[in-house]
Structure formats: structure tokens, C-alpha cells
Amino acid sequence: MKSWGLAIALVLISAALSFAHPGFLTVPNLINVARQISINGILAVGVTLVLLTGGVDLSLGSVVALAGVVAASTAHPDQYPVVVPVALGIATGALCGATNGLMVTRGKVPSFIVTLGMMTAARGLALVVAKGRPVSNLSTDFTCLGGDVGMVPIPAMILAVIALVTFVVLKNFRLGRYLYAVGGNAEAARASGINIGAIRMFAYTACGALAGVAGVVLAARITTGQPNAGVGYELDAIAAVVIGGTSLSGGVGSVGGTILGALLVGVINNGLDLMNVSSYYQAIVKGVIIVGAVWLDRNRQQS
């Protein structure tokens, strides 16, 4: 299994952190980690689908902000039942994703450029919808989506469900195999009768919808729709995915790897915060890990 190396690395780093700080390996802290990786995890699962087809989605962070703002503006107390803001937020994300997909498949514009455009446009739209300021005063029905049930954080449960469903789809469904096939060798996939356009369209739309979910969860967690939230989230998500062993050229990767990648980044962030390591060094460590993980993986494959 490809993800074993990563799982071992995660265990080793966790062991080192629990030696370095007694507060690390405690139930409340591990719950913290689960809560803190939820949003990045949801985005990372979504972008895994797009990366598998050989594309990329740079618009995630902005779509998170837009979906959050749209959801928040319909989530004031006594306005609508909570399903309305949630559905609108997710639909906003799916719509952005579908637009990306349409431009990539029908418009034949490279995904890097399409989603770069969406990144700017969705950010602008979020600022327009929110009139440049945070949308606050949200109902408790809505904000409790960012809270806990007993000890378990709801965002982490949402991530778990999404990861599980995606895992099953990729593993056991024809759709999953087609996603790999399109990214692995588009010509061969076309020759064997796969509708490449439809598969790509699915990947972008699903990725957008998951960004919508992340936007709703984020707005619930911070109890506001922030038009300037989520800056750089796409890169954090892509980092988790590549650490998890998904290839940027498509066709290779797994949801399990992505979740491990997100966990690794989350554990390190958390550990460095606990040890009060300065923000400057945290950024350096994160950079080294992204490149280091892929480099190790590459070496192992060649040997």
C-alpha cells in the first residue's frame, strides 16, 4: 500500500510531539486536531477528485468565502429553516464548480486558468454579496453545525462521512474507476467509450459542492460569513493531497492518502502551536514537509 509510509511518518511525528509536549497526546487535544483539520480535509477530498482527472482547482478558498457569505445572509434568526442556508451554500459551491467544469470541458481552457479566474471572480462576488463586511447575527440552529455533539465535533463528523462516501465511490463504483482512467490516459479512456467530458464535469462540480460544504461549516464555526475568509485554503488543500501521494499529473492517488496528508499537516500545526514555536518557523516547517513528503515518495517509487 502506498499510504503506509505516510501512516508511519504520522505515527512517528505524533510520538515525537507527545514526548515534546505532555498536552499533545490527550483526548481533548486530539479532538482539537480533528476539528481543526475538518475544513482543510473537506476541501482536500474535493480537490483530490479534480487532481485525479489531471486538472487543478485554485478557486477553492474564494468559493469557500462566497458559499459562506451566501449561507450566512440567509441564516439570520427566524429567517428560514436551517436547511435553506445550508442548501444555498452548497448549491453556490456546486454552481461555481460546474462553471469551472464547463469552461474546462466545453471551453477547452486549461483548468489552471479557468479556476484562477474563478478564484478572483468568486472573491469579488463574495465581497459584493456581503457589502465588504462580515455577515453576522446568525441563528444558533446554523452555528451549531460548527459545534460539538457530546465530545465529537460536527465538522469532523461531516469530514468523516464525506471521506467515507468518496472512498467507496472511488473504490467500488464505475464512476471512480473512470476518474482514474481519465486522469491516467485520456485518449485510452475515450477509446474505451468513457464520456471524458461528463467525468471531468462531475469532478469539478463535486469539488465545488464540497467547497460549498466547507464554506457552510466555516461560517458556522466562526459564526459569521466572512467575505475575506479562506485566502490560501486551496493551496493548503492541494498540499495535503500531494503529501497524501496523489499525483499532480492525474490518474494516481487515494482519499485515504489525502486524509493522512491533512492529518499530518494538522498535527504539525497543532504541535508547533502547543510548543509555542514562532509563526515564522511554522511556515518554514510546513514548506519543508510538503516538498520532503513528495520527494521521499518519489525516491521510494524509483528504488
Partner 1 sequence: MKTITYKLISGILAITVLCGCNRQNRTAGGGKQVVVGVSLLNLSSEFIVMLNEAMEAKAGELGVKLVVNDAQRSAERQIQQVEGFIAQQVDVIILNPCEVDASSPAVDKALAAGIPIINLNSATQSTPTAFVGSHDEESARIAMEYIAKRLNGQGNVVMMQGFMGQAAQLKRDQGAREILAKNPGINLLACQSAEWDRAKAMSLMENWIQSHGTKINAVFAQNDEMGMGALLALERGKLKDKVILISIDAIADALQAVKSGRLDATVFQDAKGQGATAVEVAAKIARKEPYERETFIPFQLVTKENAGNPR
Residues forming contacts to partner 1 in the complex (CB under 8 A) are 21, 23, 26, 28-29, 32, 35-36, 39, 123, 127, 131-134, 136-137, 147-148, 218, 221-224, 226-229, 269-270, 273-276, 278-280
Q: How far is the CB of 169 from partner 1 (least distance, A)?
A: 29
Q: How far is the CB of 145 from partner 1 (least distance, A)?
A: 14
Which of residues 181 and 218 has its CB atom nearest to partner 1 in the complex?
218
Nearest 5°: the CA angle 269, 214, 227 is 95
Which of residues 121 and 196 has its CB atom nearest to partner 1 in the complex?
121
Contact 92, 212 (CB under 8 A): yes
Q: How far is the CB of 175 from partner 1 (least distance, A)?
A: 33
Which neighbouring-strand residues pair with 149?
A: 152
Q: How many whole angstroms separate alpha carbon 7 and alpha carbon 264?
A: 9
Which of residues 137 and 172 has its CB atom nearest to partner 1 in the complex?
137
Which of residues 29 and 247 has its CB atom nearest to partner 1 in the complex?
29
CB atoms within 10 A of CB 303: 5
Q: How many whole angstroms separate alpha carbon 7 and alpha carbon 4?
A: 5
Q: How far is the CB of 275 from partner 1 (least distance, A)?
A: 8
Which of residues 21 and 200 has its CB atom nearest to partner 1 in the complex?
21
Which of residues 62 and 74 has its CB atom nearest to partner 1 in the complex?
62
Q: How far is the CB of 116 from partner 1 (least distance, A)?
A: 16
Cell digits for 240? 495535503
Contact 165, 16 (CB under 8 A): no
| Residue among 37, 34, 41, 248 at smallest CA distance from 153 | 34
**225: three-class secondary structure by DSSP:** strand
Q: How far is the CB of 230 from partner 1 (least distance, A)?
A: 8
Q: How far is the CB of 262 from partner 1 (least distance, A)?
A: 14
Q: How many whole angstroms separate alpha carbon 177 and alpha carbon 198?
A: 14
Residue 90: CA atoms inside 13 Å, Cβ hemisphere, count?
11
- Residues contacting residue 158 through CB under 8 Å, at least 6 positions apart: 38, 42, 213, 217
- Residues contacting residue 15 through CB under 8 Å, at least 6 positions apart: none
Which of residues 101 and 134 has its CB atom nearest to partner 1 in the complex?
134
